[in-house]
Amino acid sequence: MGCVISNLSAKFAFFPPYPPTYQIKKQEDGKLNAVYTSSSMPLASAAGGVDDGGGGCSLDVLSLRTKRGNKIVAFYLKNPYARLTLLYSHGNAADLGQLFDLFVQLKANLRVNLMGYDYSGYGASTGKPTELNTYADIEAVYECLQTEYGVSQEDLILYGQSVGSGPTLHLASKLPRLRGVVLHSAILSGLRVVCHVNCRFCFDIYKNVNKIQKVKCPALVIHGTEDDVVNWLHGNRLWKLAKDPYEPLWVKGGGHCNLELYPDYIRHLYKFIYDMETMTTKTQLTKIKERLRLPKKSNLGKSTAGCYFCCVKVGRPSCPKCPKPRCPKCFGRPKCPDCLTLNCHCFKCFGRPKCPDCLGLDCCCFNWNYCCWWPKPKCPDVKWPSCLKCGCFTCLGKCGQCSCW
């Protein structure tokens, strides 16, 4: 049933350019070469020839088999000065031939290695474009980066444009040590592009609204404010749902397919790449601990000497803020931040943990002014064992100078 729905959705979601803008030819040495369909000129030659410091083009053309039996085409552009690798998932109605010049510019300006690929049914890739096929496509490319180029997830940044945000977040949600994610004109889901809905449907595709919450690495969101294909609200919602959101880029006046023309685009993207390069493992762990808000280490291993109620087998308090006591034998001693001493005669909250005055022996039952448990008498001077004014215990209405109850 899932395959039928995916194939049906694909007819309305994917529009691969036809005919493809490039072709793959095999050279005499067995290597693959990509040439433009219109001119038969090699893509690498048109982009500037031999790599001369990051600005030229050192291109590897790859043919990868996916777990769903399709063969997809991938381009790997190497920058000799790069520390990180960018895995680019392009948008709809485009293929590698159209994006190749952009890849060369990104590789040089961002100082990264770049891997781009065509989905099944796009360009020279075989098969049909479906949601499940795109997931298998990006997984095959990631496996190639690991095995052929030695790229670990700690040195990888995933980049998803428009529809490409679907496979990007699919893979990012499975890689806990990923360096970063870029969401360019991303979608909340396929159905939400067509109509504004908040409920879930079984026939919806690319449910990024759910997967973004599983991504643990920094996420940069780039979106045009005048995007008439994917509304700006998609990017804004994804940014708010991200666990580690990076400073977003809202391109004022930007549309869906022209953000690369704005100077702020490359400037902000370069800043993100630079921050990801300089981010150390220690910085990452600090951010993770802050997000998780891990509690301090407990004193379970320390001696319980001084705990006067370890022998009293009383029930745990019902306060949700009072977890398991530090002393494994004393079930009446919660870790409530408002009850700091064991000698509190209200026995540590028992459902009333928010008393800021339960700090010692003189509180609660022994001092009406600071009682957090019993209802306070109207007379502010009534105390245990005697009222300073009338000399009685609780007045009981007999005091002529005050009315305690």
Question: Per residue in 310-326, pLDDT tens?
Answer: 333 334 444 554 444 44
The whole-number pLDDT of residue 199 equals 56
Average pLDDT on 401-405 reads 47
What is the bridge-based pairing of β-strands 59-65 and 32-36? Answer: unpaired
Which burial class, exposed, middle or buried, applies to 328 when counting CB atoms under 10 A from its CB (0-12, 13-18, 19+)? exposed
Active site residue 227: yes
Active site residue 403: no
Catalytic one among 9, 162, 173, 185?
162
Q: Is the pLDDT at 329 greater than 80, yes or no?
A: no
The whole-number pLDDT of residue 299 equals 45
Nearest of 47, 84, 75 to residue 270 by alpha carbon? 84
Average pLDDT on 149-164 reads 96
Q: Is the pLDDT at 340 greater than 50, yes or no?
A: no
Backbone angles phi, psi at 134, to 5 degrees: -65, -35
For residue range 261-320, list pLDDT tens digits in order.
999 999 999 999 999 999 876 666 676 666 665 554 444 444 434 443 333 333 444 455
Catalytic one among 95, 256, 268, 338?
256
For residue range 31-49, list pLDDT tens digits in order.
999 999 998 899 887 665 4
Active site residue 256: yes
Catalytic one among 95, 137, 155, 227?
227
- Answer for the pair 82, 124: CB distance below 8 angstroms, yes or no: no
